[in-house]
Amino acid sequence: MKILVVEDEKITRHLITSILEESGHETVSSISAGQAMEFLLSQQSIDLIIADIVMPGMDGLRLIRMIKKNRILSRIPILICSSRTDVETVTEAAKLGAKGFIAKPVEAVGLLLKVSEMIDYVVPKIMIVDDEPMMRDLLMRMVGRTGFGVTVCGSADEALMKMKVNKIGMIITDIMMPGKTGLELMAEVHMINSKLPVVVITGKSDQRIKNEAMLAGAAGFIRKPFKSVEIAQVITRAHATSKVASKVAIA
């Protein structure tokens, strides 16, 4: 997950980010609530916010209010990390929309357990896997316009690693990549989660590969050159199909 840590105290901020990064999470940090809002409003993709309450200027409770009033930002779960553990403060934070609370001083085990609980509140992302930076950037912009959160990877192995610490709702992958191919990635992904939809990128003349991908369980195809409308349609269909499959599996 990509986690924003909002903490004005340098030692605590460094401790939290170090614990998270050693566990495979990506972190960014802000020294104030105001700086955090500027970062969030710059359309940076964040999965979880860990914020102190007592900070110079805007406090953590006001930060929660501002985040929850924003339609786009309100989806991000917030974990409060504070030395203020009185019932009134904890209750107020929960009423405003905080999903969890952890007391200072921070301990690694307690923090990581609480962060793992937060995964239930994280909105699943679409993962784009392509070894070409220009293609990744293009797809990231186009997929981002559909309203889904996006994360990108340059290889199948990186994608498999990111799946361990990110809540992924769909994968869009190129076929031809150094190391594992997109089809090999899809096979490994479906061994981990058979219901996770994998959309495959194909070229105009890749009918044989498209047939192989279809037999392997691809949820859809995006054909080069990309068009935003087509990408949105493919994602919508794959998302709807995966939801139906999940209901059938539960039944």
Residue-wise pLDDT for 216-249, tens only, equals: 889 999 888 888 888 989 988 887 766 534 443 3
What is the per-residue pLDDT for 72?
80
Predicted confidence at residue 241, as pLDDT, reads: 67
**pLDDT digit string, tens, across residues 46-97:** 889 999 999 998 999 999 999 999 988 898 999 999 999 999 999 999 999 9
pLDDT at 126 over 50: yes
Residues 137/150, Cβ–Cβ less than 8 Å: no
Q: What is the mean pLDDT of residues 113-137?
A: 90
Please count the other Cβ atoms lying within 10 Å of the Cβ belonging to residue 99: 19
- The average confidence (pLDDT) of the chain is 88
pTM for the whole structure: 0.70
Q: Which two tokens stand for residue 42?
A: 């710059």
Q: Which CATH architecture has domain 125-250?
A: 3-Layer(aba) Sandwich (3.40)
In this prediction, residue 247 carries a pLDDT of 40
Question: Which pair of tokens denotes residue 50?
Answer: 């860990």
Angle between helices 60-69 and 33-41 (to 10 degrees): 20
Alpha-carbon distance of 190 to 60, in angstroms, equals 41
- The one-letter amino acid code at 179 reads G
pLDDT of residue 244: 39
Average pLDDT over residues 8-37: 94
Q: Domain 2-121, CATH 3.40.50.2300 — does that match?
A: yes
Q: Where in the chain is the domain with CATH 3.40.50.2300?
A: 2-121, 125-250
List strands edge to edge, sheet with 220-223.
149-153, 125-129, 168-174, 198-202, 220-223
Encode pLDDT of 130-154 as tens digits: 999 999 999 988 887 777 788 899 9
